[in-house]
Amino acid sequence: MLFNSIPYLILFALTYLIYWNIPQKGRKPLLVVSSLIFYAYFSFPFLFHFLLVILVNYAFSEWMFRKKEKGENHNSVLYTIVILNVLNLAFFKYFYFITDSVYSLTGYPSFKEIAGSWSIFLPLAISFYTFQIIAVQVDIHRGIIEKRMSTVDYFLFILFFPQLIAGPIMRSQDFLPQLDHPTIDPDRMKKGIFLIIGGLFKKVIIAENIAPIISPLYLDPAKYDSFSIFFSVLAFAIQVYCDFSGYTDMARGSANLLGYEIPENFQGPFFSQSFRELWSRWHITLSSWLRDYIYIPLGGSKGSIFRSNLNSFITMCLGGLWHGANWAFVLWGAYLGALIWIERSLYLHRGKKKFIPDSFPLAGIIRTIVIFIVFTFSGVFFRAAARGAESLNVAYEIFKGVLTLRNTGDTLSRVDELPTFIALGLMFNWFQYSPFVYEKLKPFQNILLPILSVVILLLLGIFGDGGQDFIYFQF
């Protein structure tokens, strides 16, 4: 049930109409039911698996609260439920990755036979809801969640359908206090509609039009010239940004219309002037989750600079692996982790110097361009992972094609359209980076909303093709 689909429109409209016309005590159960319908639309059998996961975690949460109330040590309860959640994720997402990797290392055919005898399907949203559930358990252990949650609150926190499939990864302290007091006013409604319209534009008009242009490149990159490869690399970064931030905008807009605020995932990342700044602005809820639940437990920035950089590098590699069961995703994380390591080693501990001094003409613009381009090349691993076993060869050919500056070979069809889509994506990136645009337009929102609604409907009719899955649905 995609956000840009008729079934979602029907489900949300019915939920919205009933939601605001019943007493508060009935609203949370209604959202739970709507969320179950939303998930069941994708996979009815896996709905039961999902409910079982939530029930088991709820039971362990209650067990941990009872231990804390009695003053007993509850470390073993936390370790057990975290391990169970990780095993659940590992079985469905990494079974073939592990068996194939072991087979490649050992050559024992039994590992290949084991993998071939199983047919394992990936439950929708398992990566996102696993991280969110683990965070709940750790927050109870740390005392961040001080009071027991009702069964309905617990289920709704995990199931809340606007953010269920691809986040943002919510924190208990951000969402739970809102559950009993959803608030709506004209400004929040208009903001929600603006977010949905902007998200639809980014997803359908930009991301879904970039995808078919660059897809042939990843089937046979060796046949294309460097010009096509370079602009495809830049365009894929814009595609991911518009696809995922578009999803987040629609999720936030839907939540606004239901009276809730959920976290922003992007804050103009492509205008960053360092890689550390970029990761504070890109997929914010995942970055902060990795920081709080992996990087800091590893030791964080305590100790030597080397150890701090190593902790950061390990965290980024695990973040890459979280995205998918493929060595290309691990290399994606390693590439980004190495950039942060280099940046911190060269500049951060030397008085926070910048790699291009402010005294240099146009220093800020140059830093932004360099960071953007270097970051976009991480997407080569990310996109190549779709080729499975061929992913590393594909990534190698793309890097080779750019570095050799070859002017022979085919030119991608419609490659001349990519600069326009890149510029549009950067424009939305600027809107997020410079919120004054929204403030300037706010006085005119009563006029703009109906105009933009009509425009987006026309554009959907012209450019839309029925709706493609969001990229992060596969994780």
Q: How far apart are CA 189 and CA 197, in angstroms?
A: 12
Rounded distance, CA 82 to CA 88, Å?
A: 10
Among candidate residues 335, 8, 361, 357, the one with its CA nearest the CA of residue 164: 8
Helix/strand/coil for 212: helix
Cβ-proximal residues to 214 (8 Å cutoff; 6+ apart), any chain: 232, 235, 236, 239, 383, 412, 418
- 10 Å Cβ neighbour count for 439? 9
What residues contact residue 383 under an 8 Å CB cut-off, 6+ apart?
214, 218, 236
For residues 190 and 170, what is the distance between their CA atoms, to the nearest angstrom? 23
Return d(Cα 460, Cα 389) in angstroms, integer. Answer: 36
**Number of residues that this document lists for the chain:** 475
Instruction: Say which residues have a Cβ less than 8 Å from residue 51's Cβ, sequence separation at least 6.
Output: none
For 237, which DSSP code?
Answer: H
Structure tokens at 420: 């326009």
Q: Please, are residues 316 and 276 in contact by the beta-carbon 8 Å criterion?
A: no
- Is there a contact between 240 and 378 (Cβ–Cβ < 8 Å)? no
Taking a C-beta distance cutoff of 8 angstroms, is the pair 42, 31 a contact?
no
Tell me the H-state helices in 377-410. Answer: 379-384, 391-403
Q: Which two tokens stand for residue 286?
A: 């995942």
The single residue of 74, 141, 283, 323 carrying the catalytic annotation is 323
Q: Are 305 and 296 in contact (CB under 8 A)?
A: no
Backbone φ and ψ for 409, nearest 5 degrees, come out as: 105, 175
CA 6 → CA 11, 41, 466, 467, distances in Å?
9, 13, 10, 10
181 classed as catalytic? no
Number of H helices, E strands in the chain: 22, 0
Structure tokens at 219: 């089937």
Q: Which residue has the tokens 């424009």?
A: 427
Closest CA to 42 of 470, 329, 388: 470
For the record, the structure tokens of 136 come out as 């709940």
- CA-CA distance, 99 to 91, in Å (whole number)? 11
The residue whose two tokens read 């095993």 is: 87
Which residues have a catalytic role annotated? 323
